[in-house]
Amino acid sequence: MPQPPVRAYVGLGANLGDSAATLRQVLAQLEATPGIAGVTASPFYRSAPVDATGPDFINAVAALDTVLAPLALLDVLQALEHEHGRLRPYRNAPRTLDLDLLLHGDAQLDHERLILPHPRLHLRAFVLLPLRDLAPDLSVHGKPMDAWIGAIHDQPIERLAG
């Protein structure tokens, strides 16, 4: 019997090239991926790099329904990063595309390739604000989203029009 779909949330970011166009293209590619349906994106945000240098990022979060297991979904995300020219010359390097699996249903996973829920999602304005746009009542690491958002007020971020 097939597994019912679960709701997953994916963080999207880019700070090289036409970042907004790349994110729009990736959202369409996710929607067209077998095993993924119902892709909904938050508004786009502009944010300064965290623990890194380089141009500002364009960020968003996508909610999607998937029958893919967490590691299979991670494989899809990493293949999309590769397709869009993602290089990893050093930690937190500027990037053409960054896709992070934030949540996969209620899954808790501590694997060498993937930790769920994402261990730093509650520390980043560029994740919390777009995630709140999609799921304002979601709890993150056992706390309501707004409890975390108060702690990230010092991170510069701007919601983009359109």
Q: Which residues are annotated as catalytic?
A: 86, 95, 98, 100
Residues 6+ apart with CB under 8 A from 23: 12, 13, 14, 41, 44, 58, 60, 97
User: CA-CA distance, 12 to 152, in Å (whole number)?
Assistant: 19
Q: What share of the chain is helix, strand, coil (3-state, %, to 5)?
A: 30, 30, 40
Unique residue bearing structure tokens 């500002």:
56
Distance of alpha carbon 36 from alpha carbon 44, whole angstroms? 21
Q: Which amino acid is at 121?
A: L
Q: Phi and psi for 36 in degrees, rounded to 5?
A: -125, 135
